[in-house]
């Protein structure tokens, strides 16, 4: 088959992920592959570990990128720190909270679910009270719920978990690289993420960080994790110290992540967060000018993942297809009970700029109108009146 057959369309990826890859990341991924035990590869790995500590907001020694997607990071966190017969409390208010709970069930844990409606943040005081009452071994929550656009701060529940002697696992898949994660400040023991969202890299690696407290727990664990490939102690022997062979790491993806983290360092992590926050606020103002509302409450919104509700009488799939046809702009629809009820609009990395947000709003408004929506006002006009000048 000739190489010319591979000719993917050039989309503007405004969905929840994968999102746009920084052009400089693509450039380094073309470089020659070295062996996965080559000293140069481990130089790249050390650069990745340093950059991830900055993005996670941690000093944890155990901070690395695993071979696998964000779901592999989730599986690793649960498989290593949840034992059969232990009690695991999970905050469930969206698709990925459900997934963590299911992974805990499959590990043989007694899973206690603190449930809220999809799109509603858990009240921290309530979560803390549940933890004090249930006395779990592990508490797990989604910091940035990709299915709903809800951010969960976590400080109070982490404090309550530590008082109860529990470890805390946090899903930071959508937040990492686009808004503050603050692992150490929040009190998170195990945090995992992905590379294809806020870090502006291709999918295929799962950043993970583990606190010294959790590492001591892991070393003292009596049983062996059932998942050999995701055994963090085995991965420690590969990425640290002995450099003992464990698996063939995807070298080119590590090149890409190292470059992506260098781009973040060049911009400055705080400036990057601010750019995403301003892009989010500009988009929200524009869609609200049209008469749309967002699923998540203002104080609970993820900056880089927006969930406008689908207007009554509008088919969200047809809107998304129109946006592809009009401008090659790709956004996503809802999952589970939110299917057909929300749009999921990611504004991340290279697309978190004034010009790109303006193009997104213009296409979104046009597609909605062509599907029968009558806007209360013009999102495009809101852009022209200067709502994006600070982005």
Tens digit of each residue's pLDDT (9 = 90 or more) over 260-291: 999 999 999 999 999 999 999 999 999 999 99
Which has the closest alpha carbon to 206: 91, 301, 75, 363? 75
pLDDT tens digits, one per residue of 24-60: 999 999 999 999 999 999 999 999 999 999 999 999 9
**Which residues sit opposite 343 in a β-bridge?**
333
Q: What confidence score (pLDDT) does residue 241 get?
A: 76
How would residue 390 be classed by pLDDT, with cut points 50, 70 and 90?
A: very low
Q: CA–CA distance from 104 to each of 25, 37, 83, 164, 166 (Å)?
A: 35, 33, 9, 19, 15
* CB 194 within 8 Å of CB 68: no
The beta-strand segments (E) located in the chain are 12-13, 62-67, 87-92, 110-115, 138-142, 144-145, 150-151, 167-171, 190-192, 205-210, 305-306, 329-330, 332-333, 343-346
CATH architecture of the domain 23-265 equals 3-Layer(aba) Sandwich (3.40)
The number of helix segments (H) and strand segments (E) in the chain equals 14, 14
- Its pTM stands at 0.95
Domain boundaries, the chain: 23-265, 268-387
Is residue 319 predicted with pLDDT exceeding 90? yes
Q: Average per-residue pLDDT in the chain?
A: 95
Range 22-53 burial, b when 16+ CB lie within 10 A, else e = beebeebbeeeeeebeeeebbebbebbbebbb
Domains 23-265 and 268-387 share a fold: no
Q: What is the pLDDT of residue 380?
A: 85
Query: What is the rounded average pLDDT of the residues 346-358?
Result: 96
The Cα–Cα gap between 315 and 360 comes to 18
pLDDT in tens, 197-249: 999 999 999 999 999 999 999 999 989 999 999 999 999 999 987 888 999 99
Domain covering 268-387 in this structure, CATH number? 3.90.1150.10
Q: For 192-217, b where at least 16 C-beta lie within 10 A, e where not — what string? A: bbbbbbbbbbbbbbbbbbbbeebbeb
Averaged over 140-158, what is the pLDDT?
Answer: 97
Cα–Cα distances (Å) from 99 to 3, 17, 91, 133, in that order, read 38, 17, 11, 24
3 confidence band (pLDDT: 50, 70, 90): low
Q: Which residue has the higher pLDDT, 255 or 388?
A: 255
């Amino acid at each position: 088959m000739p190489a010319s057959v591979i000719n993917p369309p050039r989309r503007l990826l405004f969905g929840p992920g994968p999102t746009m890859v920084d052009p400089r990341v693509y450039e380094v991924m073309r470089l020659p592959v070295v062996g996965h035990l080559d000293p140069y590869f481990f130089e790249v790995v050390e650069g990745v570990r340093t950059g991830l500590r900055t993005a996670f907001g941690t000093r944890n020694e155990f901070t690395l990128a695993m071979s696998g997607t964000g779901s592999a990071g989730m599986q690793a966190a649960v498989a290593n720190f949840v034992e059969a017969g232990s009690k695991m409390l999970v905050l469930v208010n969206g698709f990925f909270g459900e997934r963590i709970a299911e992974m805990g069930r499959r590990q043989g844990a007694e899973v206690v679910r603190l449930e809220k409606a999809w799109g509603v943040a858990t009240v921290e005081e309530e979560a803390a009270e549940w933890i004090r009452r249930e006395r779990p071994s592990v508490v797990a929550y989604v910091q940035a719920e990709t299915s709903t656009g809800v951010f969960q701060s976590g400080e109070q529940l982490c404090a309550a978990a530590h008082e109860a002697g529990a470890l805390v696992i946090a899903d930071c898949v959508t937040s990492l690289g686009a808004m503050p994660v603050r692992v150490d400040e929040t009190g998170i023991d195990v945090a995992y993420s992905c590379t294809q969202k806020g870090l502006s890299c291709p999918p295929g690696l799962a950043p993970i960080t583990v606190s010294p407290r959790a590492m001591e727990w892991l070393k003292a664990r009596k049983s062996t994790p059932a998942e050999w490939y995701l055994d963090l102690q085995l991965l420690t022997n590969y990425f640290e110290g002995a450099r003992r062979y464990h698996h063939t790491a995807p070298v080119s993806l590590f090149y890409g992540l190292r470059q992506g983290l260098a781009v973040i360092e060049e911009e400055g992590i705080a400036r990057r967060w601010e750019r995403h926050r301003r892009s989010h606020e500009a988009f929200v103002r524009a869609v609200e000018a049209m008469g749309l509302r967002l699923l998540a409450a203002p104080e609970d919104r993820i900056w880089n993942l927006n969930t406008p509700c689908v207007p009554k009488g509008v088919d969200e799939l047809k809107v998304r297809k129109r946006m592809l046809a009009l401008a090659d702009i790709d956004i996503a629809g809802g999952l589970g009970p939110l299917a057909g009820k929300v749009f999921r609009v990611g504004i991340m990395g290279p697309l978190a700029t004034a010009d790109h947000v303006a193009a997104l709003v213009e296409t979104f408004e046009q597609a909605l109108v062509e599907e029968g929506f009558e806007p209360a006002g013009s999102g495009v006009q809101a852009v022209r009146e200067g709502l994006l000048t600070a982005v």
